Structure 1
Amino acid sequence: MVNGPSTQMAFVEVDCLPTHRDLVVATLCRVPEIISIEVSARGRDLLLTVVTHDWTALSDLVLSRLQIDGILRHRTSLVTDIHLEASDWRLDALNRAQTLEVARIEVHSATVPSTVTPADTALIDLISHDGRIGFAELARLTQRNASTVRRQFTRLTACGIMKFRCEVSQESSRWPISCTWFCRVEPGHVAETVRILRGIPETRGCFSTTGESNFMFIGWARSVTDLLRIEKEVAQSQPTLRFLDSAVAFATPKRIGWFLDQSGCATGEVVVPTFSTPVSKKH
């Protein structure tokens, strides 16, 4: 994942004609700024996760580029704060010793630079296609010295521009059901609510948003009935929170740029997200 200092994130709920849904999904999958797409069970046909490099790009996407055949209407919730994201979620696949070892080698965030250079963009693009690529191969492909590439990589990760996220086929995991809850939380209770959600292992994302539902969280559950247990646990721990709606995903055709098949596995095709800070080109 790539984060820029002016990055704008939003969730977009899309209603479309039933006969056009597959075509709409195929079209939206090709849009780099739409990083993830879920086909919802109710309330909306599609739930899009959108990340653009600035406000102007988001406005253009929502007001112009989403005007395609088959889309009836769409509703946008702007993300005002990211409290928890999927890269923070743990699969419980590592033992304690392995977890401590990973924590030891993790790079701590520093100040994010205001610009991303053309060389940074080239490196990010290569890593987005293959997160396992080595420094020697990166140096060969960028025609640069391996030590220079290593320093560049360290700077981008230390500043938080690049974050790594290891995904798993959800259908093959112990948590095959994905649900997004739309809630209302009083501003003074947001921090406490985030703390409660961090203590629930199924929580994969937590965001403050604009709109009537000013708070959203995402969870992976073992079964549909397990969703009720999560709701009860949250409601009992935070009585001031109001559940307004929820969206269970029937399918996820795209996640963080990668196209997924019906089993939730990557097809090998990826549309690299273009939400890092734009680089001005010299003519």
Structure 2
Amino acid sequence: MLDGVDALLVHALQINPRVGWSRLAKVLGLDAVTLARHWKRLTDDGAAWTSCYPGPAMALAGHGCLAFVEVDCAGGRIAQAAEQLARLPMVITVEHVTGDRDLLLTVMAPDLATLSRWMTRTPAELPAVVAVRAQVAGSIYTEGSRWRLRSLTAAQTTALTQDLPAPEPPGDLVLSELDRRLMVALSADVRASFTALAPECGASPDTVRRRVNGLLASRAVHLRCEIARPLSERPVAAVVWAQIPSGEVEGVARRIAGMPDVRLCAGITGRHNLLVIAWVRSVNDLQKLETRLSGHAPGIVIADRAIALRTAKLSGHLLDESGYRTETVPIDGWSEPAPSGKPS
């Protein structure tokens, strides 16, 4: 389990992943060297990590799309398919799930045409993959960057929130090639310094600082601090596909998004119009989750459900069978599939 300092540290970095050690030490009332040492141990052990990925503002500005891709695998080759798919930079998450699909992927692409090319050239050409189906995400009502451990006081939370860049009013979002390179680099390590990012992305530290702050202020990206699922005291990921009357989707989805154990609530295309992912304490809690969902939305129809047996990749990071991080595959939604089915 996380000790007291670990829990405070992770919660703080979930709120403000790039906060400096000195500022964090002041807010938490702890020594900066102690905090840095705890973070190094957590990351070395694969117990915690950070990531960055495009936010909804990108999709609203026409710069990308998100899809949940169901994969059917050849008999006995699920692990092989999961490993191969997890290595692809357009794939954000890979989970082996129960039910009518073997794997559930979260995939990011710059547009629908690229998503189509990716589906027809990449997973479809892997010998372990039999079939793929996509559900494109519409509105994202909540996602993993908003999930919290809830270890800090209200005053500490407010102090860390105030340190975040002030949001800019909605407007035209123009992305440069440098912005894309920064997003990819930050997906491996959100806490990388401006000085470290500069040579990797081909710009000066001052330019990098200005562009990173701009991406955060425009909400073009989401930063995320994650922990190994067993350390969350909610080690089971439950997936629910639901149908809600069209006129009620917005209100119902926002109420569901406010549930503390819900990690994702998204409108989707296909047979169902809402996808919900929650972390729960046990498999038995899936039924309780459905009951609570029905309480928030009396008209909801639970159309399908699944449990994640294993997560092979989460937010761009490869995990072992226990859910601890082992390696990073930077998220790159602009990576065009090669004709051979291998990432370019």
Q: TM-score, normalised by structure 1?
A: 0.91
Residue 188 of structure 2 is aligned to residue 129 of structure 1: yes
Which stretch shifts more, 179-188 or 226-235?
226-235
| Contact 2:68–2:105 (CA under 8 A) maintained in structure 1 | yes
Correspondence list, 1:137-176, <5 A:
137-142=196-201, 144-176=203-235
Partners of 1:196 and 1:152 lie apart in 2 by 34
Secondary structure of residue in 1 paired with 2:113: helix
Partners of 2:319 and 2:253 lie apart in 1 by 30
Secondary structure of residue in 1 paired with 2:308: strand
Between Structure 1 and Structure 2, how many residues are aligned?
277
1:250 corresponds in structure 2 to 309
2:3 corresponds in structure 1 to none
Query: 1:272, CA displacement in angstroms?
Result: 1.5
Q: Which letter does structure 2 place at the counterpart of 1:151? A: R
Query: 1:71, CA displacement in angstroms?
Result: 1.6
Secondary structure of residue in 2 paired with 1:273: coil
Secondary structure of residue in 2 paired with 1:239: coil
Query: 1:40, CA displacement in angstroms?
Result: 0.5
Which stretch shifts more, 28-37 or 241-250?
28-37
| Contact 2:188–2:316 (CA under 8 A) maintained in structure 1 | no
Which of 103, 117, 130 pairs up with 1:60?
117
Correspondence list, 1:28-47, <5 A:
28-47=85-104
Which of 317, 328, 332 pairs up with 1:270?
328
Query: 1:70, CA displacement in angstroms?
Result: 2.1
Query: 1:113, CA displacement in angstroms?
Result: 4.8
Query: 1:196, CA displacement in angstroms?
Result: 2.3
| Contact 2:141–2:253 (CA under 8 A) maintained in structure 1 | yes
Identical aligned residues as a percent? 30
1:103 corresponds in structure 2 to 161
Q: Which letter does structure 1 place at the counterpart of 2:89? A: P
Which of 44, 52, 65 pairs up with 1:8?
65
Give the unaligned 5+ runs of structure 1: 279-283
2:133 corresponds in structure 1 to 75
Q: Which letter does structure 2 place at the counterpart of 1:26? A: E
Partners of 1:120 and 1:62 lie apart in 2 by 26
Structure 1's consecutive aligned runs of 4 or more residues displaced over 6 angstroms after TM superposition are none
Secondary structure of residue in 2 paired with 1:232: helix
Partners of 2:69 and 2:173 lie apart in 1 by 28
Give the unaligned 5+ runs of structure 2: 1-52, 337-344
Query: 1:242, CA displacement in angstroms?
Result: 0.1
Partners of 2:276 and 2:307 lie apart in 1 by 12
Secondary structure of residue in 2 paired with 1:131: coil
Partners of 1:196 and 1:141 lie apart in 2 by 42
| Contact 2:138–2:267 (CA under 8 A) maintained in structure 1 | yes
Cα RMSD, aligned residues only: 2.0
Query: 1:87, CA displacement in angstroms?
Result: 1.0
Q: 1:166 to 1:64 in 2, by over 3 A?
A: same
Partners of 1:277 and 1:105 lie apart in 2 by 33
Which of 286, 290, 307 pairs up with 1:227?
286
Query: 1:202, CA displacement in angstroms?
Result: 0.6
- CA deviation vs aligned residue, 1:146-173 (integer Å, no higher than 9, x gap): 3322111111111122210111100221
Partners of 2:328 and 2:279 lie apart in 1 by 23
Partners of 1:216 and 1:145 lie apart in 2 by 42
| Contact 2:141–2:257 (CA under 8 A) maintained in structure 1 | no
Residue 320 of structure 2 is aligned to residue 261 of structure 1: yes
- CA deviation vs aligned residue, 1:169-200 (integer Å, no higher than 9, x gap): 00221110101100001111112212321332
Partners of 2:86 and 2:203 lie apart in 1 by 33
Q: 1:124 to 1:192 in 2, by over 3 A?
A: closer
Which stretch shifts more, 251-260 or 155-164?
155-164
Q: TM-score, normalised by structure 2?
A: 0.75
Q: Structure 1 or 2: larger helix share? A: 2
Q: Which letter does structure 1 place at the counterpart of 2:54? A: V
- CA deviation vs aligned residue, 1:197-235 (integer Å, no higher than 9, x gap): 133211111111111111111100011122221211111
